[in-house]
Amino acid sequence: ETPDTSKTMSPPVHQKKTIEHKIRVLLVDDQAISGEYVKRCLANVPDLEFHHCMDPSKAVELANKIQPTVILQDLVMPEIDGLMLVKFFRVNPTTRDTPMIVLSSKEEATIKAESFARGANDYLVKWPEAVELVARIRYHSNGYIHLLERNEAYAALETSQKALAAEIAAGSAYVQSLLPAPMTDPLAIDWRYVPCADLAGDSLGFHTLDDEHVAIYLLDVTGHGLASALLGVTVMNVLRAKSLPNTDFRKPGEVLGALNEAFPMENQNNNCFSIWYAVLHLPTRTLRWSGGGHPASLLFTPDQPNTAIQLESDGPIIGMMPWPEFESSERQVPPGSRLYVYSDGAQEIHLADGTEWPFEEFIQFMAQPVNSDSSIMDRLLAHVRMLRGSKTLDDDFSIIEATL
């Protein structure tokens, strides 16, 4: 029974609850009467917490402990100059952004200017009416609490993104681990697979069906990301395990018909896929193939090594619609023939000027003589990156080279 990827649910997103921040007032003033006045002003404000520090040398330490949402800072105190203490608060990491209201006994422009230059947010002549004091405290505290909540949200988002990136990287490594090792016997097959995103929609494979038959296939799922990757891996595993019921995997058209029935797009998050599937019969050197919505594969024979024979994909894309029968084609392949099966990401290249790389030029590139020093697949990847003007391509780059 083939797995149904439409049942795959996205992992739940765990959202960290935002911390509830209470308004905390720290008064730094060596006069007990100041503390008593502020305490009485705030007595009828239930959602507010008040702290009074009479020793300015301990003010920063206390602020680190209670983490106030606003600091009321007297300018005239023994031992430590009030303006200097403002500077200390500003270089202290815990109170670097905490709103500060400096307190003075008189309205003086130069002292005001110096206070703001040192980092104060407000200037208050002692003492205003309680309603004004509460309003200033609430105004500055609310602004600071909004800043804290924004920073916490950014931190939570960054943590979530890192966790998601780690999961995607693990998924990408798993997908690539499923791709087959190059084959050397009974024929030589190699591949290149470069996803344009961490989780790609392309999949490829090849394996012996029995002593006389070798299957080669490449598929391209619509879209990118988790859903596309899951569908691609599922189809690849189905083909590798030969788990389609009542299907002769030596008959390409029959395989595509069974895939079309097993993976209708309405059951796959509206994803469908193109595929080119071929079987080589070793004793007779007969290559049979069938394709659904996929680019034509290229065959180069020893008698015409620089002329590409296009092995067309005549069927519709898999899963898009019911289809009565997928046709199979066949031809004899002489020893030394080269077959290239690729996804559209290997030849539909959007150039830097906005145009697209002509298909005829792609054919010409693939028809160049074989170079023992470098694989044509590596040269193609380097060339399309040069054409694109970027190492990152628009689509997944996948290609199989089989020397028949």
| Mean local confidence (pLDDT), 263-279 | 95
| Mean local confidence (pLDDT), 86-112 | 90
Question: Cα separation of 398 and 341, whole Å?
Answer: 8
Of 52-61, 113-122, 220-229, 384-393, the poorest mean pLDDT is in 220-229
Question: Cα separation of 99 and 26, whole Å?
Answer: 11
- pLDDT of 248 strictly over 90: yes
End-to-end distance of the chain based on CA atoms, in angstroms? 33
113: which strand partners? none
Give the pLDDT of residue 177.
85
Q: Name residues whose C-beta falls within 8 Å of residue 340's C-beta, 6 or more positions apart in sequence.
A: 297, 298, 299, 300, 366, 376, 399, 400, 401, 402
More confident residue, 44 or 329: 329
Of 11-25, 29-43, 56-70, the poorest mean pLDDT is in 11-25
Give the pLDDT of residue 357.
95
- pLDDT of 350 strictly over 70: yes
**How far does Cα 293 stand from its chain's mean position?**
28
Question: Cα separation of 41 and 142, whole Å?
Answer: 18
Give the pLDDT of residue 11.
45
The strands making up 329-332's β-sheet, listed across from edge to edge, are 202-208, 213-221, 273-281, 286-292, 329-332
Question: Cα separation of 259 and 155, whole Å?
Answer: 45
Across the chain, what does the average pLDDT equal? 89
The pLDDT-based confidence of 44 (bands split at 50, 70, 90) is confident
Report CA-CA distances (Å) from 47 to 20, 25, 217, 354, 382: 12, 11, 68, 60, 65
Give the pLDDT of residue 196.
79
Question: Cα separation of 86 and 89, whole Å?
Answer: 5
Give the pLDDT of residue 373.
81
Q: How many CB atoms lie within 10 A of CB 342?
A: 28
Give the pLDDT of residue 13.
44
Question: Cα separation of 342 and 298, whole Å?
Answer: 9
Give the pLDDT of residue 19.
65
- pLDDT of 75 strictly over 90: no
